Amino acid sequence: MPKQMGPEHFRDEIIECLSSESTAIDGTGHGDKLKEAEKYLRRIFSEVAGNYDYPTYPKLMAALKLLMSREYKAGKNEKVVADNFLKITKKIKNACNDAR
């Protein structure tokens, strides 16, 4: 039976996505971008009254919605934003269904 992925896994996946796709992340190398993405996501979790270190599925979804809104406002390609959002939310939904 495959190992179930928890909220921390998806939080880390969001960081990877932000580091490579977000208009809000600056950095010269992959490591720099990952650090910037983590800082950014920590701020987002704070804004949605979530806990970065102990994420929950509802707060992950709230964070994703806020990130999506900000990326749209920053002029990021809508298809890229929507595709990334749908890819991650589908995985979260499946993990929630598997946990039942």
Residue 38 lies in a domain: yes
Instruction: Tell me if 88 is assigned to some domain.
Output: yes
pLDDT at 86 over 60: yes
**Model confidence, pTM:** 0.87
Would residue 2 count as lying in a domain?
Answer: no
Span 42-51, pLDDT tens digits: 999 999 999 9
Name the percent of the chain lying above pLDDT 70: 91
Q: How far apart are the C-alpha atoms of 42 and 70, rounded to whole Å?
A: 15
Range of the domain at 38: 7-99
Residue 100 in this model has a pLDDT that exceeds 90: no
- Looking at the chain, the whole-number percentage of residues with pLDDT higher than 90 is 66
Domain count, the chain: 1
Label residue 1 by pLDDT band (50, 70, 90). Answer: very low
In a domain, 1, yes or no: no
Any domain includes 29: yes
Q: Decide if 41 is inside a domain.
A: yes
